[in-house]
Amino acid sequence: MPTHGRTFPGDPQQLSAARRWTRATLNGHPRSEDAELIVTELGTNAVTHTASGDGAGTFQIRLTVSEQTVTIAVTDRGRTKTGPEVQHPPLDATHGRGLGLVAALADSVTVEGNDFGRTVTAELRVHATLRDSAPCS
Protein backbone atom coordinates (compact mmCIF):
# COMPACT_ATOMS: atom_id res chain seq x y z
CA MET A 1 0.00 0.00 0.00
CA PRO A 2 1.41 3.39 -0.92
CA THR A 3 2.09 5.83 1.89
CA HIS A 4 2.19 9.57 1.30
CA GLY A 5 3.52 12.03 3.83
CA ARG A 6 3.83 15.75 4.22
CA THR A 7 4.83 18.14 6.98
CA PHE A 8 2.89 21.38 7.38
CA PRO A 9 3.77 24.53 9.31
CA GLY A 10 1.85 24.73 12.58
CA ASP A 11 -0.23 27.68 11.43
CA PRO A 12 -4.05 27.36 11.47
CA GLN A 13 -4.07 28.78 7.94
CA GLN A 14 -2.23 25.62 6.80
CA LEU A 15 -5.24 23.44 7.62
CA SER A 16 -6.85 24.29 4.29
CA ALA A 17 -3.61 23.31 2.53
CA ALA A 18 -3.64 20.00 4.43
CA ARG A 19 -7.24 19.41 3.31
CA ARG A 20 -6.40 20.17 -0.34
CA TRP A 21 -3.34 17.89 -0.20
CA THR A 22 -5.47 15.10 1.25
CA ARG A 23 -8.11 15.54 -1.46
CA ALA A 24 -5.49 15.51 -4.22
CA THR A 25 -3.66 12.52 -2.75
CA LEU A 26 -6.81 10.44 -2.37
CA ASN A 27 -8.05 11.47 -5.83
CA GLY A 28 -11.69 10.35 -5.59
CA HIS A 29 -11.23 7.47 -3.13
CA PRO A 30 -14.65 6.53 -1.65
CA ARG A 31 -13.58 7.74 1.83
CA SER A 32 -11.81 10.92 0.69
CA GLU A 33 -14.38 13.33 2.15
CA ASP A 34 -14.25 11.63 5.53
CA ALA A 35 -10.44 11.66 5.36
CA GLU A 36 -10.40 15.40 4.63
CA LEU A 37 -12.59 16.07 7.67
CA ILE A 38 -10.42 13.87 9.88
CA VAL A 39 -7.22 15.59 8.68
CA THR A 40 -8.83 18.95 9.49
CA GLU A 41 -9.89 17.87 12.99
CA LEU A 42 -6.61 16.18 13.92
CA GLY A 43 -4.55 19.00 12.40
CA THR A 44 -6.59 21.55 14.32
CA ASN A 45 -5.97 19.65 17.56
CA ALA A 46 -2.23 19.54 16.85
CA VAL A 47 -2.01 23.26 16.12
CA THR A 48 -4.31 24.30 18.97
CA HIS A 49 -3.22 22.02 21.82
CA THR A 50 0.48 21.18 21.27
CA ALA A 51 3.83 22.73 20.44
CA SER A 52 2.94 22.22 16.78
CA GLY A 53 1.12 25.56 16.99
CA ASP A 54 4.16 27.43 18.39
CA GLY A 55 6.21 29.77 16.20
CA ALA A 56 8.31 27.19 14.35
CA GLY A 57 6.04 24.23 15.08
CA THR A 58 4.87 21.71 12.51
CA PHE A 59 2.52 18.76 12.20
CA GLN A 60 2.93 15.77 9.96
CA ILE A 61 0.30 13.84 8.01
CA ARG A 62 0.74 10.34 6.61
CA LEU A 63 -1.87 8.73 4.37
CA THR A 64 -1.67 5.02 3.60
CA VAL A 65 -4.06 4.14 0.81
CA SER A 66 -5.53 1.00 -0.70
CA GLU A 67 -8.83 0.23 -2.39
CA GLN A 68 -10.08 -1.15 0.94
CA THR A 69 -8.71 1.37 3.49
CA VAL A 70 -7.32 4.81 4.11
CA THR A 71 -5.16 5.19 7.20
CA ILE A 72 -4.59 8.75 8.39
CA ALA A 73 -1.85 9.46 10.91
CA VAL A 74 -1.32 12.98 12.26
CA THR A 75 1.74 13.58 14.43
CA ASP A 76 2.11 16.63 16.65
CA ARG A 77 5.18 18.08 18.40
CA GLY A 78 4.07 17.42 21.97
CA ARG A 79 4.48 19.60 25.04
CA THR A 80 1.06 18.91 26.42
CA LYS A 81 0.32 17.24 29.71
CA THR A 82 -2.79 15.41 28.54
CA GLY A 83 -3.32 13.09 25.61
CA PRO A 84 -6.11 13.41 23.09
CA GLU A 85 -9.39 11.96 24.32
CA VAL A 86 -13.02 12.01 23.29
CA GLN A 87 -14.85 14.66 25.31
CA HIS A 88 -18.54 15.20 26.01
CA PRO A 89 -18.91 18.98 26.10
CA PRO A 90 -22.13 20.79 26.98
CA LEU A 91 -24.43 21.55 24.03
CA ASP A 92 -23.49 25.24 24.03
CA ALA A 93 -19.71 24.60 24.05
CA THR A 94 -17.77 25.82 21.02
CA HIS A 95 -14.90 23.31 21.37
CA GLY A 96 -14.30 19.71 22.38
CA ARG A 97 -16.08 17.71 19.69
CA GLY A 98 -13.26 17.07 17.22
CA LEU A 99 -11.94 13.72 18.41
CA GLY A 100 -15.49 12.48 18.99
CA LEU A 101 -16.27 13.32 15.37
CA VAL A 102 -13.13 11.49 14.24
CA ALA A 103 -14.13 8.44 16.31
CA ALA A 104 -17.63 8.50 14.80
CA LEU A 105 -16.31 8.58 11.21
CA ALA A 106 -13.41 6.14 11.59
CA ASP A 107 -13.50 2.37 11.95
CA SER A 108 -10.69 2.63 14.51
CA VAL A 109 -8.70 5.38 16.24
CA THR A 110 -5.47 4.93 18.17
CA VAL A 111 -3.20 7.34 20.03
CA GLU A 112 0.49 6.67 20.54
CA GLY A 113 3.30 8.77 21.95
CA ASN A 114 4.07 10.89 24.96
CA ASP A 115 4.64 14.51 26.04
CA PHE A 116 7.24 14.89 23.25
CA GLY A 117 4.77 14.13 20.48
CA ARG A 118 1.75 12.01 19.77
CA THR A 119 0.37 10.35 16.67
CA VAL A 120 -3.36 9.93 16.29
CA THR A 121 -4.18 7.31 13.67
CA ALA A 122 -7.62 6.82 12.16
CA GLU A 123 -8.47 3.94 9.86
CA LEU A 124 -11.29 4.25 7.35
CA ARG A 125 -12.45 1.06 5.69
CA VAL A 126 -14.38 0.99 2.45
CA HIS A 127 -17.59 -0.86 3.13
CA ALA A 128 -19.37 -2.68 0.29
CA THR A 129 -22.10 -0.05 0.01
CA LEU A 130 -19.54 2.72 -0.53
CA ARG A 131 -17.47 0.65 -2.92
CA ASP A 132 -20.54 -0.20 -5.02
CA SER A 133 -21.74 3.41 -5.17
CA ALA A 134 -18.32 5.02 -5.78
CA PRO A 135 -17.87 6.70 -9.18
CA CYS A 136 -15.66 4.78 -11.57
CA SER A 137 -12.31 6.43 -12.27
pTM for this prediction:
0.85
d(CA 98, CA 86): 8
Give tens-digit pLDDT for 81-123.
556 665 665 666 566 566 788 999 999 999 999 889 999 999 9
Domains of the chain: total: 1
Q: Are 42 and 102 in contact (CB under 8 A)?
A: yes
Model pLDDT, residue 115? 85
Q: According to the model, what pLDDT value does residue 117 have?
A: 93
pLDDT band at 30; cut points 50, 70, 90: very high
The pLDDT value recorded for residue 129 is: 63
Please give the residue range of the domain that contains residue 105: 3-133
> Is 101 within 8 Å of 89 (Cβ atoms)?
no
Cβ-based neighbours of 43, under 8 Å, separated by 6 or more: 8, 14, 15, 18, 59, 61, 74
The CATH number assigned to the domain holding 96 equals 3.30.565.10
